[in-house]
Amino acid sequence: MPSPAAQFLTSSPTDLSRAAELLRAGHCVALPTETVYGLAADALNPSALAQVFTIKGRPLLDPLIVHVLDQAALAEVAEPDERLALLASFWPGPLTVVLRRKACVPDLVTASKPTVAVRIPAHPVFREVLRLCGRPLAAPSANPFGYVSPTKAVHVSDSLGERCPWIVDGGACTHGVESTILDLSVPGQARLLRPGPITLEALQAKLGPIEVVTRAASQQSAQDAPGMLERHYSPATRVELFARGSTPPAAVGKVARLLLARRSDLPVGPADFYLSEHGSAEEGARHLFDLLRQLDARGFDVIQAELAEAAGIGVAYNDRLTRAAAR
């Protein structure tokens, strides 16, 4: 049996074999992906899946993403769609596609909906564990439901503690925000459900017009995909937003300012923190959740966060901050 404290595993062959063994036995293991750390469980084992919901405090109405090694493994859990061939260049990578589910996928994965969200991850550690365990893995972010996603192994232990006994430390995540989610479950229709590292522009170049779903999901009915609630990715500290390049409004109390870059037009404040030296939205997204977590632990009354230009990955960056600021 595991000790009460989380046990960190490395990316060594011995430790990854151990992680795969635990997953096959029905346990949960936190694994690194190129987006954020995921709380992995056998996607075809209802008992293991139930642990994921318990550990996270996740509502059953919120579906899970199933991670598979390749398109052959994808075809075992989802009905094929000819448009997947057009998206092949994005896999392995941070793209999740919603398709019609196959009968082997438990209702816990899909919130009892007829669709399933699937992804072929790129992170070498996650891929090796997939290969070793030979099972599709459901892996929502390894954090309490609704809180800031983890992009480092220590974030998982900090927020889940003994509830997550095993964590594979694969270093900091490359992208720092969750995967793009594209709904292809209806023939002839494509919907962007969640922006991410694979941009809308890149997807449209492959598929043509894509409907962008901007409404927040209801908390009373099954969601089409994860990450669609109005409030999500949210620290305990209040978050206020201001437009790129503008001056943040005056605020009362102990205030942290989260800026995309150093700015000559803005006097340096006593608690200014920078996501990028040169205003890169990619770099800002990579560091966003880590810095939000750091600031949340420092006793500020409010975090004022600068939005990015609404283009490329800046759309995903703004989406996460907007949901973090919702009250």
What domains, with CATH codes, occur in the chain?
7-212 (3.90.870.10), 238-325 (3.40.50.11030)
Predicted confidence at residue 4, as pLDDT, reads 52
Say if CB 49 and CB 190 are below 8 A apart: no
Q: What is the pLDDT of residue 1?
A: 34
**Is the whole model's pTM more than 0.85, yes or no?**
yes
Between CA 36 and CA 274 the distance in angstroms is: 20
Residue 270: the pLDDT is 84
For residues 250 and 302, give the distance between their C-alpha atoms in angstroms, rounded to a whole number. Answer: 11
> Tokens 């800046």, residue?
314
CA distance 7 to 241: 37
With vertex at residue 195, the alpha carbon angle to CA 193 and CA 201, rounded to the nearest 5 degrees, is 105
Q: In the 3-class helix/strand/coil scheme, how is the chain assigned residue by residue?
A: CCCCCCEEECCCHHHHHHHHHHHHCCCCEEECCCCCCEEEEECCCHHHHHHHHHHHCCCCCCCCEEECCCHHHHCCCECCCHHHHHHHHHCCCCEEEEEEECCCCCHHHHCCCCEEEEECCCCHHHHHHHHHHCCCEECCECCCCCCCCCCCHHHHHHHHHHHCCEEECCCCCCCCCCCEEEECCCCCCCEEEECCCCCHHHHHHHHCCCEECCCCECCCCCCCCCCCECCCCCCCCEEEEECCCCCCCCCCCCEEEEECCCCCCCCCCCCEEECCCCCCHHHHHHHHHHHHHHHHCCCCCEEEEECCCCCCCHHHHHHHHHHHHCC
Q: Encoding tokens for residue 69? A: 């090694």
Long-range CB contact pairs, 74-82, < 8 A, 24+: 74/118, 74/120, 76/102, 76/104, 76/136, 77/43, 77/101, 77/102, 77/104, 77/105, 77/116, 77/118, 77/136, 78/102, 78/105, 78/116, 78/118, 81/184, 81/187
Q: What is the pLDDT along the chain (327 residues), one digit of tens a residue?
A: 333 578 999 999 999 999 999 999 999 999 999 999 999 999 999 999 999 999 999 988 899 999 999 999 999 999 989 999 999 999 999 999 999 999 999 999 999 999 999 999 999 999 999 999 999 999 999 999 999 999 999 999 999 998 999 999 999 999 999 999 999 999 999 999 999 999 999 999 999 999 999 766 556 677 888 877 788 889 999 999 999 999 888 888 999 999 999 888 888 888 999 999 889 999 999 999 999 999 999 999 999 999 999 999 999 999 999 999 998
Output the CA torsion sign for 321, 120, 226, 215.
positive
Whole-angstrom distance, CA of residue 78 vs CA of residue 2: 34
Q: How far is CA 71 from the centre of its chain?
A: 21
Q: What is the pLDDT of residue 269?
A: 81
So what's the pLDDT on residue 292? Answer: 97
